[in-house]
Structure 1
């Protein structure tokens, strides 16, 4: 799946307005175009908006994917933010409320979750602090997801 911003760039290149209904129709096309999709794709990471979308016939996208044998997943992080005091390095936010979000997504049919951490690579980075912070965040994310039945 793509973020609203990324899909907006794709739509702009073909003069399609970046509104929710157009995004839903685009994703419906991707998920329903070919039943052999699962021959090449084992899982799809969905964004929050997409997770709750339905096809024209009312079938949730999550069910469409599961029926094809494709594991539906969900992006659960809230983005990278600067790591205070560490030039250009960051950490990922989104642990607050993660357990509740994971429980909701599991109930809705998600089987796995995605979390992104970014380490700046240069002659002087990543710093020890950035590596430890990101490792800690990843460990907490993994623990919370597993407690809620997501891998």
Structure 2
């Protein structure tokens, strides 16, 4: 099993740069900052194939498909898996497998000093989108190198 750490902390016990206290440092003097780390927890997960339930060996881990995410601030999280095995698709972790919607994602609560185990993350197969970009007025295929937009954006609402 592999372990990944996600802790970021700013002065004084703040979870983001925007919230951080500003420190004044005078030229030629020593400035001492006493900091206490916020409590952290861990989440242990296993990645498995949706149809078979078999562990996914290349999921940031060894052959057992397990990984522990450590040093997580005590807070609720929604997990997103970046599948790197060439078979499964990137997806939010839902209640019964992967989901394409953050709104359907499972919420996991990291608790200080504890490791929470979640049920296996059952990943769906990767999909693809293909097509031809055409001129709206003529229906003719788009030109290579044109300034027209030729990509597909998939937007995920914030929050």
> Could you state the TM-score of these two structures normalised by the residue count of structure 2?
0.23
Larger Rg over CA atoms: 2
Which structure shows the higher strand fraction? 2
> Could you state the TM-score of these two structures normalised by the residue count of structure 1?
0.24
Bigger relative CO (Cα 8 Å, ≥ 6 apart) = 2
